[in-house]
Structure 1
Amino acid sequence: MSTDAQQDSEEFHDWQRWHEGRIVAVAAPHGPLSLTGTHWLADHPEGRIPAVPGLWREDGDEVVLVATPEDGLTVDAEPLDGEVRLGADRGPVDASRVAQGDRRLVVLSREGLWAVRDFDPQSPTRQAFRTVDATPYDPKWSLDGTFRPYDSDRTVRVENADGRERGLGLSGEIAFTVDGAEHTLQVAVEPDGSLWAVFADTTSGKSSYRFRFLRPPAPDGDGRVRVDFNRTLLPPCAFADHFICPFPPPGNTLTVAVPAGERNRIDG
């Protein structure tokens, strides 16, 4: 198919809408570019987090926040004067329980450790952002794949972007063919049945970010799944240094180049 024909195809226009939507989501006031810090409470036993108002401490399976009116914090859109007990925020960032004006203070839990994430729409990274560099849609990289579930879920320890090692759950692998050779990626299964892979390839750290995400849809009843590398995603840590994205597990570094999908963040 010629380049002109590719760019007139329905698939290309679907991809273009997806790409434009991604740019809007990334640049949103509380998108990943606005994250200015992930503060682990274990690193602040006195309860004071630099540049974050209030007094924060762990208490078993909750976080206790104490604030005065001078802190300017709200919880559930009501001014906080005193103490409140918080669980982890599970929803969108802009729906977090704790805020200070436009800032959102998101409570996070990972492997029994608690943190507070600070999302500020005025972050320098968000102000500098221009776009996401992505390769235009190429039908060559929309592949037929097969999902092969494991007999039981597995957890492997992998390094994360913040230098700490954490567990990564894996439920199976997807197999697909590139230039006549079969390749596989280990994947997690999301609650809605869709798949998630963290992978690298021979472009990683060169013409694309050091690793990327792939989110295929749920397989059909026979395990068939569309492996569309045109929709390869940059991980959140490509947009802000304070995310804790997992690195690819062993076996998820492809021996081929994948010149498709999102490649890098571009600042103005």
Structure 2
Amino acid sequence: MSDPVVPAAHEAFRRKRDLSIRGPQGAVALETTAWISEPTQVEGVPGTWAPSPAGDGLQVTADASDEIVVDGEVVDGAAVVYSHDSMTPSSVRFDDSRTAFVIGPDYNGRFALRVWNADAAEQRGFEGVSTFDFDPGWQKHGTFEPVEGGVAFEYGKSQGGSLRKGVSPGKIRFEHDGAEVELLALPDGDSLQIVFADATTGAETYDVGRFLFVKPRPDGTVEVDFNRAIVPPCAMSEQFNCPLPPAGNRLPFPIEAGEQRPLFAAE
């Protein structure tokens, strides 16, 4: 049997995915996630970082000689760094390779400084992500059933701690080997983020599971293409705290499609 023809759209997806991982603020580049509740110095970067007076991000205090640039201006005194998710997110630059932005607030109202190193992929010997061969059999034609009020579920995080509560806006269904499979998802913009594990998890694929992003159509149909399953960012950097698959998304069969594991020559 000849190998299946790999669609051009899938090859383009793989190229875009590789570039995004290797980018200046790609998953491999994350060096530090520092949650801040009081004035503190963050390892590896200058300045004193503290919660902003208005509670809308962080405030950095530094001299001009520290060469911290916030929103295009060198900090000489104090400057507010607004959260990445705010209406006016701030950008931070420390030098030619290190940049940062602020995330939050978290459940406790804290914000964090995330520091990125554009040279990290080269320094760590990042070689790419291993993948299964493209398999058209894992392009599933499914349905999305909205549920009024959503479907509540609990899930863990890769760095531990108490269980989080999530709400899926509905149920995603597709058939596999003659049986119906049902998945829950977290909202992600105009898409849905499926966090799942299967019989390859911890063996052929990354230990804590994988992600798949889908976009239901207005008629309720949805393409569940596991060839586009990706490893979570915590596979690239321990500074990420990724959601773990909820109980209902832990599938008993192997999904031999999509990404497997990141590859590092130096680790």
TM-score of the alignment, normalized to the shorter chain, above 0.5: yes
Any unmatched runs of 5+ in structure 2?
none
Does the CA contact (< 8 Å) of 1:169 and 1:188 recur in 2? yes
For 1:48 and 1:41, locate their aligned partners in 2 and report how far apart those are by CA, in whole Å: 10
Task: State the Cα RMSD in Å.
Answer: 2.0
Query: Do structure 1's residue 39 and structure 2's residue 38 form an aligned pair?
Result: no
Q: Deviations over 1:13-64 (max 9, x none)?
A: 321221122112211222110101111113xx34222222111111423321
Q: Deviations over 1:161-214 (max 9, x none)?
A: 22234443421121111111111110123332x221111111101100120001
Any unmatched runs of 5+ in structure 1?
none
Following superposition, the deviation at residue 250 of structure 1 comes to 2.3
- What does residue range 92-131 of structure 1 map to in structure 2 within 5 Å? 97-101=91-95, 102-109=97-104, 110-111=106-107, 112-123=109-120, 127-131=124-128
Following superposition, the deviation at residue 222 of structure 1 comes to 2.9
Question: Which residue is 1:70 aligned to?
Answer: 65
Greater helix proportion: 1
Does the CA contact (< 8 Å) of 1:134 and 1:260 recur in 2? yes
Question: Which residue is 2:46 aligned to?
Answer: 53
For 1:125 and 1:207, locate their aligned partners in 2 and report how far apart those are by CA, in whole Å: 25
Question: Which residue is 1:221 aligned to?
Answer: 218
Does the CA contact (< 8 Å) of 1:96 and 1:105 recur in 2? no
Structure 1 window deviating more from structure 2 (123-132 vs 226-235): it is: 123-132
Following superposition, the deviation at residue 90 of structure 1 comes to 3.5
Q: Deviations over 1:134-166 (max 9, x none)?
A: 112111000111111221135544221222344
Question: Which of 236, 257, 267 is the aligned partner of 2:254?
Answer: 257
SS at match of 1:215: strand
State the TM-score, normalized to the length of structure 1: 0.88
Following superposition, the deviation at residue 123 of structure 1 comes to 2.6
Structure 1 residues 155, 182: closer, same or farther in 2, change over 3 A?
Answer: closer
State the TM-score, normalized to the length of structure 2: 0.88
The one-letter code of the counterpart of 1:49 is V
Question: Which residue is 2:2 aligned to?
Answer: 3
For 1:81 and 1:227, locate their aligned partners in 2 and report how far apart those are by CA, in whole Å: 51
Does the CA contact (< 8 Å) of 2:155 and 2:245 recur in 1? yes
Does the CA contact (< 8 Å) of 2:143 and 2:222 recur in 1? yes
Q: Deviations over 1:189-248 (max 9, x none)?
A: 3332x221111111101100120001112x223311111101001111111111111111
Does the CA contact (< 8 Å) of 2:41 and 2:48 recur in 1? yes
For 1:57 and 1:169, locate their aligned partners in 2 and report how far apart those are by CA, in whole Å: 32
- What does residue range 1-268 of structure 1 map to in structure 2 within 5 Å? 2-4=1-3, 6-7=4-5, 12-42=7-37, 45-59=38-52, 60-90=55-85, 97-101=91-95, 102-109=97-104, 110-111=106-107, 112-123=109-120, 127-154=124-151, 156-165=153-162, 166-192=164-190, 194-210=191-207, 211-217=209-215, 219-268=216-265
Does the CA contact (< 8 Å) of 1:200 and 1:254 recur in 2? yes
The one-letter code of the counterpart of 1:53 is P
